[in-house]
């Protein structure tokens, strides 16, 4: 048997621990964002939403900050990244784009609304009398919609991970589990 039949065509070595930490910490964060969005959608103005919804903005802002660290780390360590297919590669890029676009659009809306924004007591945006209509319109139009699109894309991502587990040559889950 030649060595090429034994060697997987795709690199299945585990990612470094920082990449894995970012992936799973942010996965938990996005699961929380999905929960808060579902609660708002299905049970707005209930005690559950009163308890959960105030955590949408601070956790969302944390994910926005983590995105920059994760993207910088992924770029510096891009040599280890080898996707199974072009679809997987562009799918991952699309998730990165949405993970940035969704909170950015919300933050633009927040800024444009003229309302103050504090992050765990740290002032991020001061209140202002000026409102910037295009910013609030953009947020109203796209933040929720792109957020749902992100959740749907991630559902596809997770489905593909489990679909690929049926063949040891494409089983990428251990790469992210370490």
Query: In this structure, what token pair is assigned to residue 6?
Result: 């034994």
Of the candidates 84, 100, 132, 138, which one interacts with ligand HEM according to CB under 6 A?
84
Of the candidates 41, 55, 68, 90, which one interacts with ligand HEM according to CB under 6 A?
41
Question: What does the CA dihedral 148, 138, 125, 104 come to, rounded to 10 degrees?
Answer: 50
Of the candidates 25, 43, 95, 132, which one interacts with ligand HEM according to CB under 6 A?
95
Query: In this structure, what token pair is assigned to residue 86?
Result: 């072009």
Task: Rule CB under 6 A: say whether 102 interacts with ligand HEM.
Answer: yes
Task: Rule CB under 6 A: say whether 112 interacts with ligand HEM.
Answer: no
Task: Rule CB under 6 A: say whether 39 interacts with ligand HEM.
Answer: no
Task: Rule CB under 6 A: say whether 92 interacts with ligand HEM.
Answer: yes
CB 164 within 8 A of CB 84: yes
- Which range touches ligand HEM (CB under 6 A), out of 1-9, 126-134, 140-148? 140-148
CB of 46 to ligand HEM, least distance (A): 13
Please, which residues bridge with residue 119 across strands? 122
CA 44 to chain centroid = 24
CB 164 within 8 A of CB 172: yes
How many binding residues for ligand HEM (CB under 6 A)?
41
Kindly write down the DSSP assignment for every residue of 111-157, as one continuous string. Answer: HHHT--EEETTEEEE---S---HHHHHHHHHHHHHHHHHHHHHHHHH
Binding site residues, ligand HEM, CB under 6 A: 19, 23, 26-27, 30, 33, 37, 40-41, 56-57, 60-61, 63-64, 74, 83-84, 88, 92, 95-96, 99, 102-103, 106-107, 110, 143-144, 147-148, 150, 154, 157-158, 161, 172-173, 175-176
């Amino acid at each position: 048997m030649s060595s090429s039949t034994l060697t997987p065509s795709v690199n299945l070595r585990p990612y470094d621990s920082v990449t894995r930490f970012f992936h799973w910490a942010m996965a938990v964060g996005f699961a929380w964002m999905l929960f808060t969005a579902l609660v708002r959608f299905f049970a707005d103005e209930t005690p559950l939403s009163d308890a959960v919804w105030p955590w949408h903005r601070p956790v969302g802002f944390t994910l926005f900050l983590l995105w920059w660290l994760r993207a910088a780390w992924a770029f510096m360590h891009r040599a280890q990244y080898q996707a199974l297919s072009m679809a997987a590669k562009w799918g991952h890029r699309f998730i990165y784009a949405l993970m940035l676009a969704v909170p950015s659009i919300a933050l633009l809306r927040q800024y444009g609304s003229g309302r103050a924004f504090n992050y765990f007591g740290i002032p991020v945006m001061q209140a202002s009398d000026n409102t910037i209509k295009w910013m609030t319109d953009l947020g109203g139009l796209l933040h929720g919609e792109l957020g749902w699109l992100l959740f749907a894309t991630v559902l596809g991502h997770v489905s593909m991970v489990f679909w690929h587990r049926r063949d040891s040559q494409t089983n990428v889950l251990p790469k992210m589990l370490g």
